[in-house]
Amino acid sequence: VRVAGDYVELPFCTGLMERAAASGVMAANDILAELGAGPEPIRGIPQRGLLAGLRSGRRVSPR
């Protein structure tokens, strides 16, 4: 079972619509990996600047 949508927590900062799209691509990539196909890249903006480490009002340490 794969879950995607704007309510899914992701390992990077996103807005609601972006989170829904990115989690959908991540779920599709999981299925593609099971089938032996290559993943679809997830593109986004660089996570840098004054608010880069913030998520839901709390500080997230960079990985």
Domain ranges, ordered by start, for the chain: 1-63
Closest CA to 42 of 17, 62, 23, 61: 23
**Mean pLDDT to the nearest integer, 26-47:** 88
Residue with tokens 């593109």: 43
Contact 32, 15 (CB under 8 A): no
Closest CA to 12 of 1, 25, 22, 2: 22
Quote the pLDDT of residue 54: 59
Q: What is the pTM (predicted TM-score) of this model?
A: 0.67
Quote the pLDDT of residue 45: 67
Listed in order, strand segments (DSSP E) in the chain are: 54-55, 58-59
